[in-house]
Structure 1
Amino acid sequence: MIKTLRGLAHKYFSDEEAIILFLLLLVGTGFVILFGAMLAPAIAAVIVAFILQGLVTKLNRLGIPEAVSITVVFLVFLGVLVGFLLGLLPLIWRQVTSLAGETPRIFRELQTYLELLPEQYPALISIEGLNAIYTQVTNEAGRMTQWLVSFSLASIPDLVALLIYIVLLPILVFFFLKDRALLLASISRLLPPQRSMMVKIWHEVNLQCANYVRGKAVEILIVGGITYAAFKFLGVPYAALLSLMVGLSVVIPYIGAAVVTIPVAMIALFAFGWGSQFIWVMVIYGVIQAVDGNVLVPLLFSEVNNLHPVAIIVAVLFFGGIWGLWGVFFAIPLATMLKAVFSAWPVKKQRSPVADEQVGQQLDHQA
Structure 2
Amino acid sequence: MTDHQEGPFNRRRTDNNQPPLIDAFNARNASVIILATLACIFFIDWAQSVLLPLIVAVFISYALDPLLSPFDKINIPRPISAAAIVTLLLAIMVSASIPLQREAIAMLDKVPVAVSKFQRSSASGPPKEANIIEKAQEAAKKIEDSTSEKKVRTPGVTSVRIVEKPFNVQEFLMGGASAALVMVSQSLSALLLVYFLLAVGKLYRRKIIRISGPSFERMRKATHIMDDFHHQVRRFLFVMLLSSVFVGGLTWLAFWFLDVEQAGLWGVLAGVASGIPYLGPILIFFGTGMAAFLQFGTLDMAFIVAGTSLAITSVQGNVLTPWLTSHLSSLNPVAIFVGLLFWGWIWGPVGLIIATPLLMVIKSLCDHVANLRPLGEFLGK
Equivalent position amino acid for 1:80 in 2: L
1:159-170 matches, cutoff 5 A: 159-170=180-191
Quote how far apart the aligned CAs of 1:93 are: 2.7
Q: Match for 2:49 among 37, 44, 67? A: 37
Question: Aligned residue for 2:65?
Answer: 53
Equivalent position amino acid for 1:182 in 2: L
TM-score (norm 2): 0.66
- Confirm or deny that 1:259 pairs with 2:283: yes
In structure 2, how many angstroms separate the alpha carbons of the residues matched to 1:235 and 1:263? 16
- Confirm or deny that 1:173 pairs with 2:194: yes
Q: Match for 1:156 among 177, 192, 205? A: 177
- Confirm or deny that 1:209 pairs with 2:233: yes
In structure 2, how many angstroms separate the alpha carbons of the residues matched to 1:70 and 1:210? 20
In structure 1, how many angstroms separate the alpha carbons of the residues matched to 2:211 and 2:356? 29
SS in 1 for 2:275: coil
Identify if the C-alpha distance between structure 1 residues 117 and 208 changes in structure 2 by more than 3 Å, giving closer, same or farther.
farther
In structure 2, how many angstroms separate the alpha carbons of the residues matched to 1:217 and 1:118? 50
Equivalent position amino acid for 2:320 in 1: L
Quote how far apart the aligned CAs of 1:191 are: 4.9
2:274 and 2:313 in contact (8 A); partners too: no
Alignment root-mean-square deviation, CA: 4.1
Equivalent position amino acid for 1:320 in 2: G
TM-score (norm 1): 0.69
Number of aligned positions between the proteins = 310
1:78 and 1:170 in contact (8 A); partners too: no
SS in 1 for 2:50: coil
SS in 1 for 2:101: helix
1:132-151 matches, cutoff 5 A: none
Question: Aligned residue for 2:110?
Answer: 102
Question: Aligned residue for 2:84?
Answer: 75
Question: Aligned residue for 1:304?
Answer: 328
SS in 2 for 1:265: helix
Cα-to-partner distance string for 1:160-195 (whole Å, 9 max, x where unaligned): 444444544444333222223334444555556446
Identify if the C-alpha distance between structure 1 residues 176 and 216 changes in structure 2 by more than 3 Å, giving closer, same or farther.
same
- Confirm or deny that 1:220 pairs with 2:244: yes
Cα-to-partner distance string for 1:279-328 (whole Å, 9 max, x where unaligned): 44234223312321233212332222222221111111122222222222
SS in 2 for 1:38: helix
In structure 1, how many angstroms separate the alpha carbons of the residues matched to 2:361 and 2:294? 42
In structure 1, how many angstroms separate the alpha carbons of the residues matched to 2:304 and 2:126? 28
The more displaced of 273-282 and 236-245 is 273-282
In structure 1, how many angstroms separate the alpha carbons of the residues matched to 2:91 and 2:202? 28
In structure 2, how many angstroms separate the alpha carbons of the residues matched to 1:27 and 1:205? 27
In structure 1, how many angstroms separate the alpha carbons of the residues matched to 2:248 and 2:291? 17
- Confirm or deny that 1:231 pairs with 2:231: no
Question: Aligned residue for 1:270?
Answer: 294
Query: Which structure: greater helix fraction?
Result: 1
Percent identity, aligned pairs only, is 24
1:79-94 matches, cutoff 5 A: 79-85=88-94, 87-94=95-102
Cα-to-partner distance string for 1:96-134 (whole Å, 9 max, x where unaligned): 333332212212333455579989xx9xxx7769x9xxx
Give the unaligned 5+ runs of structure 2: 1-8, 11-19, 27-36, 135-166, 374-381
SS in 2 for 1:341: helix
Equivalent position amino acid for 2:233 in 1: C
Give the unaligned 5+ runs of structure 1: 9-24, 132-145, 350-367
Query: Which is bigger in relative contact order (C-alpha 8 A, separation at least 6)?
Result: 1
Equivalent position amino acid for 1:35 in 2: A
Equivalent position amino acid for 1:102 in 2: K
Larger radius of gyration: 2
